[in-house]
Amino acid sequence: MVFKALSDPTRRHILELLREGPMSAGSLADHFNISKPAMSAHFAVLREAGLVISEKHGKSVMYELQMSVLEEALLNFARMFGWKLQDGKPAKPHRTGRKVFNRTEVVD
């Protein structure tokens, strides 16, 4: 479950954003150029893997990171591994929004 959750670059970016603190589903979705159902699917995978917990806060759903040290090490390893795969290839923008991530991973 954890490996599946960490294998996707979008989910890894969600986890990186949540390192800063709890965020609403809407705020997280603003950082990605993908549909809401797709985002919901990513959230569900992360929740099932136990990497995030969610709570209803008014009308929105808030997400909070819940990663062990080993899981965080795996996340960092997955990121580094992704960067290695991308070596020598130009990075292309992954999304539009306030903060642009570059797609640095080939594995999706």
Structure tokens given for 3: 């490996």
Q: Which is nearer to other proteins, 40 or 102 (CB)?
A: 40
Query: Minimum Å distance from CB 76 to other proteins?
Result: 11
List interacting residues with other proteins (CB under 8 A): 19-24, 47-48, 50, 53-57, 62, 64-72
Query: Minimum Å distance from CB 89 to other proteins?
Result: 32
DSSP 3-state of 34? coil
Q: Which is nearer to other proteins, 24 or 86 (CB)?
A: 24
Phi, psi dihedrals of residue 103, rounded to the nearest 5°: -75, 110
Structure tokens given for 20: 């800063």
Query: Minimum Å distance from CB 29 to other proteins?
Result: 15
Kindly tell me the sign of the dihedral angle through the C-alpha atoms of 47, 51, 56, 61.
negative
